[in-house]
Structure 1
Amino acid sequence: MKQAKLLTDAERKRVSAVINAHRYPIRNHAIFALSFFAGLRACEIAGLRVGDVFEDSGKVRDTIYLAATQTKGDDSATVLISKRLAKALAAYAAQHPRHIAKQDASLFFSAKGGGFSAQTIVNLYARFYKLAGVKGASSHSGRRQFLTELADKGINARVIQALARHKHLNTTMRYIELNENKMRNAIELI
C-alpha cells in the first residue's frame, strides 16, 4: 500500500504561502490544521458541525466528539484539540462570527454557502499541494505527518494509536515513517 507523502519543512512553508495567496486563507489554514495537528481524515473534516468544535459562546472546545456517522469506521470517536489547532480554529471563528453562532451548520462552507463534502476537502488538499509543487502528497499526508511527528517525539505507540483512533496497533505503525537517519539516532541512545 502506497503511503501519503510526508512534507518537509520547506514544502509546508510553500503550501502555507500558497494558501495565503488565495481566497479564504484562514478557512483553508483551519482545514489543514485539523489534519496536521489532530490527524483528522477528509471525511471527518467534512462531517464537522460548528457545535462539534465551538461552544455556544464561540470558544473553541478542547475536545471534539465525533458521532459514528462522522467517522471512517462508523464508531464514535474523541479528538483532542491542541493549542496550535485551537489558535487556527479561533482565527476562523473570529473571521466568521455569525456562521459560528449556527451550532448545527457545517463547520466549513464554500463561496456558495454550502458545506464541504469529503471529496471537496480531498480536492482542496490536492489543489494546494499541486500549486505548491509538492508531489505525492494527498489529503492523508497531514494525518500521517501528525502520527509520525508524535512517534519522532518519543510518544508511546499506544497513545499514538488512541490519537489516530485505530482499532489495531499494526495499522498505526504503518503510518509512522522509518528511515536510516532515525534508526541511527536510535542506536546512539544506547
Structure 2
Amino acid sequence: MGLGKQSKILSKPQIEMVSTYLRSKRNGLRNQTIFLLSVKCGLRAKEISQLSWKEVCNSLGEVDNRIGLTNRSSKGLSGRIIPLHKDVRTNLIELLDIHKQYYGFDINNSFVVRTERSPFTTSQTIVNMFQGWYKKLGLLGCSSHSGRRTFITETSKKISLVGGSLRDIQMMVGHSSLQTTQRYIESDSDSQRKVVDLL
C-alpha cells in the first residue's frame, strides 16, 4: 500500500468527537460500537460485519473480556484473540441486553451488528457508514480503515511499555507478516526528533 493511498489516522480529540457524535444520533449505541470495534480493537469492516455474539461472549452467555475472532469472520485465515477495551466491552454489554429483549436473540446465530431490516449487515454497508460519518464530520482522507490504522499506530507506541513487541500487535490484528503491520504504522516526526535529542 503506497503512502498516498493509506487512510489517515485519528487523533484522540477526533476519536472523542466521532464517538460522541455517533452516540448522540439515531442507532447511537450500535454505531458507536461499530466505531469502537475499529479504533479500539483494530477490526476490519468485514470482521465488524461478521462478528457474532458467540465470538464475544463466554460459556455463560456474558460478554467476555476478549473477542475470539474465528476464521469465518476474519480475512483469510486470520482468526485470533483480541483483548476487549473497557469502552467496547461496556457498549457490547448494553447492546447484548437490547438484542436479548427485542430480537429473538440466539447467541449461536446472532450477529453483533444488525440493521432495522436485517439480522446482519455486509462489509460494504460498514464501509459506507464510516464514509458517511467522516464526511459529515469533515474528516478528509479517513475511511473504514482509519480506525484500524489508528489502533495499530497507537498500540505500537505503547506495546514496549507493557513488555510486548510488534509481533504481539501483528497477532492481534491478524497480519500474516510483520512487514504488513509495519506499513500500517503512522510515523511521528515529533517522536523521531525527541529520540535523536536523546543521543
Give the structure-2-normalised TM-score: 0.86
Q: Deviations over 1:71-98 (max 9, x none)?
A: 1123432222232321221232233333
Residue identity matched to 1:89: L
Which residue pairs with 2:133 in the alignment? 128
The counterpart of 1:149, out of the listed 132, 142, 154, is 154
TM-score (norm 1): 0.90
CA contact (8 A) 1:41 1:139 kept: yes
Quick one: which amino acid aligns to residue 181 of structure 1? D
Cα distance between partner residues in 2 of 1:142 and 1:62: 20
**Alignment correspondent of 2:144:** 139
CA shift in 2, pair 1:83/1:12, >3 Å: closer
Q: In the alignment, which residue of structure 2 is the partner of 1:182?
A: 191
Q: Give how far 1:69 is off.
A: 2.2
1:33 is aligned, of 21, 29, 36, to 36
- The answer to whether structure 1 residue 118 and structure 2 residue 134 are counterparts is no
Q: Distance in 1 between matches of 2:87 and 2:142?
A: 22
Paired position in structure 1 for 2:72: 69
Q: Which residue of structure 2 lines up, in the alignment, with residue 102 of structure 1?
A: 106
Counterpart CA distance in 1 for 2:140 and 2:182 is 23
Q: CA RMSD in A?
A: 2.0
State the Cα deviation string for residues 4-42 of structure 1 (Å, max 9, x = none). Answer: 111123322332233133211111111111111111101
Sequence identity (%): 33
Distance 1:189 1:58, change over 3 A: farther
User: Are 1:10 and 2:10 counterparts?
Assistant: no
Cα 1:132–1:147 change in 2 (3 A) is same
Q: After superposition, where does 1:156-175 map in structure 2 within 5 Å? A: 156-175=165-184
Aligned in 2, Cα 1:81/1:187: closer, same or farther, shift over 3 Å? same
Partner of 2:22: 19
Deviation at 1:154, TM superposition (A): 4.4
Please, which moves more after superposition, 45-54 or 15-24?
Answer: 15-24
Contact 1:11–1:132 under 8 Å retained in 2: no
* Aligned partner of residue 88 in structure 1, secondary structure: helix
1:12–1:81 distance in 2 versus 1, CA, 3 Å = closer
Deviates more, 1:171-180 or 1:67-76: 67-76
Residue type at the aligned position of 2:75: K
| Structure 2: tracts of 5 or more residues without a match | none
Q: How many residues align?
A: 190
Structure 1 unaligned blocks of 5 or more: none
